[in-house]
Structure 1
Amino acid sequence: MTAPSLPASRPETLYPVQYLRAVSALVVMLFHVSVLSQETWGLDPRRVDHVGAAGVDLFFVISGFIMAMIIDRPGPFDARQFWIRRIARVAPAYWVISLLVFVLAAAVPSLFHSTTADLAHLLASLSFLAVDSGNGSTGPLLVVGWTLNYEIFFYALVALTAGLFGDRRLILAAVAILGAVGAGIVFAPANPSLAFYTDPILLEFVFGILVYRAWRMTEGGALAPLAAFLLGGVLLVAQWERPLVDWRPLFWGVPAAAVLYGGLGVLTFRSRFLARLGDWSYAVYLTHLFVITFYIKYVIPTAPFNALPWMLHYLAMTVLTFAVAAGYFSIVERPLSRWTLRRLDPAARAVAAPAERPAIT
């Protein structure tokens, strides 16, 4: 079944979103390069490029935007179709990596600091549940998978409010998030799972919904988007070495929302290459820790690589990360996504519309 199209002025393939996905994945990768380099060689921790982690905040804002766009399409909302497409696009590629981590943790535990081959932990990870693993941590087997737990939680709110209550504007979903965050602030739950699901970072999905509404209401004129894009970028760059803060939605989420809103009006050129990088962004997110860990720990210390300037190492890691991601996307992610979609709903299209790609990807 083909989903109804947006008006011609709002094409399905949003090139600015694709470009920003690629940028988000890149800066997250560079953040982890900075952190892992510091951990490996004891560099000055104050020089960690913390703001690269704001790529996650931009991902969340994009996710709110994309879900608002999907739910706002003309025609009846089918919660079953919604869930099938979300699971088909997000779960298979993540499950493969999670199972790989589990196998490696069981076979070669020396590769990991704290990750163990615990079956209960694996099941919680595959279920996208933020469950206390016993040490106060709700993180899944794949470290970066915590963001997907938030994504699935947000999808559940969207499906519930749009499916049961006809909330096509996601007002109820936004209210639910505001209520959860407010409860977290007031009660400060000690339970790790409750703390996770009431964290203020959830507000960034609401920011994305608001960006979508603003985008639909504004037509023409590039001055406001350009100003928002530049302001958001400057605010993020100005915090380059600012450590993670409790209220990251304020310091990183708001500028990320400005970047997305501005980018929708500024980044209107079409580049197949950059759009393809956006296609690979989920694979980059899932695989980059393996690539940069291998490079930092085993490639850089060996001659003649140890004599190369850092800029070349950053370039090499970036190229290698996107090359591995391209392979993972072509060999694992896309085929499994299509296979899962066909299995769950044979009548569905084999390929999800570009605008339906999960924002964390």
Structure 2
Amino acid sequence: MFSTMARDPSRGENTTTGTGASPPPPARRTEGTIALVQALRFFAALLVVLYHAPTMNPDYTERPSRFDAFHLGGAGVDVFFVISGLVITLTVAKARHFDLADFAARRFWRIFPVYWAFLAATIAVELLSLRVGIGAPFAEAGNPVYIVTSVFLLPLPFQIMEVAWTLGLEITFYLLFALGFRCYGLRGVVAALLLWYAFAVLYVSTPLGDVPALFYLGYPVILEFAFGIAICWLHLNTRMPLGPAALVLGTAAMAGALFAPEVASLAALLHEPELRREFQFGIPAAILVYGAVATPLKVPGWLLLLGQSSYILYLLHSLFFGVARAAVNLALGVELGASDLGVAALIVGAVALSAVLTHTVERPFLLWSRRFVPGYSVPPTGFGAGIPAKRDT
């Protein structure tokens, strides 16, 4: 596990931090390793986009589509959860000591402002479409319960944005990680996460499952965060052998689970009628992420940008699909969702717009927001131009 001792650079000796476990610096981390994981984020987000693509057709239940092949594309979320466990643990490992305020500030500025912007846009579009009678609006956009749950990303099944349930689980994981690590180090995090998983298994296998409000808190998929933590531990403490082989195996295992689950999924290989999601998709996702971490490949800049835009793509695509379809339909009388070519155009548009927003808005915003994170030193550029930067202490 991570060491509980940290080196004081001013004195050249080891000192106890007193603020949870402080790991040694991750000397093995390379730009190639991080870059490949970043690229993997894009493909995970794209899987989710492709999963939602067939629903753009008003008659999608009756008309077959090439995008129906991605009817299990929601497994991109499983890749995200494994990456989240990896990245959060690695972020803490890089620090000299664990600072709860710093951790909370980083997570807040990374997740909430961008999410709130898209939530507000979604509510506005839904209420407007309800008022003018365009499309099939989600009436709960004006429901106070749904609004409060969505604003605070509570892990409850009352979300306005379809993808927000995953963010609610992410926030819960961050809270558990922060408290567990602050009190007991990484062992505390793993123990708390396993207890959460035990509750989730209990929930799905007992009458507790009849309590709908606990649906997401009782979703066993949260074990995938632990997979990411384990990969980070291996990254920091071992040579991580067979990286390229794991990358190929993980890609093949994920492809089998997505496109040929009856013959090539983990359940089929084990001759089991069914496996829960954290095994059916979580294990291939973990092998894939392990391979990405252990295989330092050079990634082109455009793919890095797409990886960085994965969060905006994840939040944007459903809203973009609805608005773009309505606009083209009103202007040209064409339903883009009625043809595979039109759907493909919408997907390309969502990916392109996400990359543009990431480069022109999100990057400068995150740079500006760092002045509100304890200990950051930020150059006066982007949103923060002309404002004195906070110095490291």
Could you say which TM-score interval applies, normalised by the shorter chain? 0.7 to 0.9
- Aligned residue for 2:316? 287
Paired residues of 1:24 and 1:58 also in contact (CA < 8 A): yes
Query: Could you list the runs of 5+ residues in structure 1 that have no partner in the other structure?
Result: 132-137, 352-361
- Aligned residue for 1:261? 290
Distance verdict in 2 for CA 1:173–1:72, change over 3 Å: farther
- Aligned residue for 1:229? 247
Using the alignment, how far apart are the partners of 1:5 and 1:325 within structure 2?
36
Query: Could you list the runs of 5+ residues in structure 2 that have no partner in the other structure?
Result: 1-21, 263-273, 380-393
- Aligned residue for 1:272? 301
Deviation at 1:313, TM superposition (A): 4.2
What does the per-residue CA deviation read over 1:212-270, in whole Å, with 9 as the maximum and x for residues that have no partner?
2233344275xx22232222222222233559x87111111110111111122335113
- Aligned residue for 1:60? 81
Using the alignment, how far apart are the partners of 2:61 and 2:342 within structure 1?
15
Using the alignment, how far apart are the partners of 1:153 and 1:333 within structure 2?
24
1:77-92 superposed matches below 5 A: 77-92=98-113
Deviation at 1:117, TM superposition (A): 1.2
- Aligned residue for 1:240? 258
- Aligned residue for 1:211? 231
Instruction: Choose from 358, 362, 386 the match for 1:333.
Output: 362
Instruction: Choose from 302, 305, 321 the match for 2:350.
Output: 321
Using the alignment, how far apart are the partners of 2:153 and 2:256 within structure 1?
34
Paired residues of 2:247 and 2:287 also in contact (CA < 8 A): yes
User: Number of paired residues?
Assistant: 338
What does the per-residue CA deviation read over 1:160-195, in whole Å, with 9 as the maximum and x for residues that have no partner?
101123337732343333333233245442222322
2:49 is aligned with 1:29:
yes
Identity of aligned residues (%): 28
Distance verdict in 2 for CA 1:40–1:72, change over 3 Å: same
3-state SS of paired residue (1:72): helix
2:144 is aligned with 1:116:
no
Paired residues of 2:38 and 2:308 also in contact (CA < 8 A): yes
Structure 1 counterpart of 2:252, which letter? V
Paired residues of 1:49 and 1:240 also in contact (CA < 8 A): yes
3-state SS of paired residue (2:30): coil
Paired residues of 1:5 and 1:12 also in contact (CA < 8 A): no
What does the per-residue CA deviation read over 1:266-316, in whole Å, with 9 as the maximum and x for residues that have no partner?
35113211111111111111101122334556659968997x983x54553
Structure 2 counterpart of 1:118, which letter? N
Task: Kindly report the root-mean-square deviation, in angstroms, between the aligned alpha carbons of the 2 structures.
Answer: 3.3
Paired residues of 1:25 and 1:55 also in contact (CA < 8 A): yes
- Aligned residue for 1:348? 376
Deviation at 1:89, TM superposition (A): 0.5
Task: Between the two structures, name the one with larger relative contact order (CA 8 Å, sep ≥ 6).
Answer: 1
Structure 1 counterpart of 2:63, which letter? L
Distance verdict in 2 for CA 1:34–1:349, change over 3 Å: farther
- Aligned residue for 1:102? 123
Structure 1 counterpart of 2:362, which letter? E
TM-score normalized by structure 2? Answer: 0.75
Q: In terms of mean alpha carbon deviation, does 322-331 or 116-125 score higher?
A: 322-331
- Aligned residue for 1:356? none
Using the alignment, how far apart are the partners of 1:332 and 1:122 within structure 2?
25
